[in-house]
Amino acid sequence: MGLGSDMYRQQILDHYKNPRNYGELEDPTFTHIGENPMCGDEIRMDVKLAEDDETIERVAFSGDGCAISQASASMLSSELVGKNVDELLEMDRDDVVDMLGVDISPMRIKCAVLAEKVAQDGAEIYRGELDKEKTSTED
Ligand code: ZN
């Protein structure tokens, strides 16, 4: 394990201890929740779209869970600002792993992708393309 991955580990711990954009938005365009029952992670994502109804203007998250799930949500909440909804929907697990910067074991991948899945499902529900009360990594 090189210095590089130590740096990323530090970054994950930093996001876990000092989460960015933690809380709830006053007037989100859409809000969605989800869980990873395997680990007990829970995430709520609030997304505010700009007037064009496409560009992500603000993101907030709240939740509870392991360092990877919470750090991933914190990083994603910053990463998504300025992207549009289509770009969010095109993201996959590799994008999340790249964002975290460390190898994620198969056991922990669900922790890592929870925030992304919640944001994506929230966007699809908002667009009327999905009907779901809560996202689960077990679906
Ligand atoms: Zn977890």
Residue 46 Cα to ligand 1 midpoint, Å, equals 20
pLDDT score of 1 = 44
Residue 30 Cα to ligand 1 midpoint, Å, equals 24
- Give the pairing type, strands 30-36 and 135-136: parallel
Residue 68 Cα to ligand 1 midpoint, Å, equals 6
What's the mean pLDDT in 48-53?
98
For the residues of 53-93, what is the DSSP string, one character each?
Answer: SSBEEEEEEEEE--HHHHHHHHHHHHHTTT-BHHHHHH--H
Residue 54 Cα to ligand 1 midpoint, Å, equals 30
Cα separation, 25 vs 15, whole angstroms? 19
| Domain total in the chain | 1
Rg (CA), the chain: 14
Q: What percent of the chain has pLDDT above 90?
A: 88
Does residue 28 register a pLDDT over 80? yes
Cα separation, 13 vs 29, whole angstroms? 30
CB-based neighbours (< 5 A) of ligand 1, an ion: 39, 41, 66, 69, 111
**Are 112 and 72 spatial neighbours (Cβ–Cβ below 8 Å)?**
yes
Residue 55 Cα to ligand 1 midpoint, Å, equals 29
- The CATH number linked to 41 is 3.90.1010.10
Residue 97 Cα to ligand 1 midpoint, Å, equals 14
**In the structure, what pLDDT confidence band is assigned to residue 3 with cuts at 50, 70 and 90?**
low
pTM for this structure?
A: 0.94
Cα separation, 101 vs 95, whole angstroms? 10
What's the mean pLDDT in 92-103?
94
Domain that holds residue 57: 3-136
Residue 117 Cα to ligand 1 midpoint, Å, equals 14
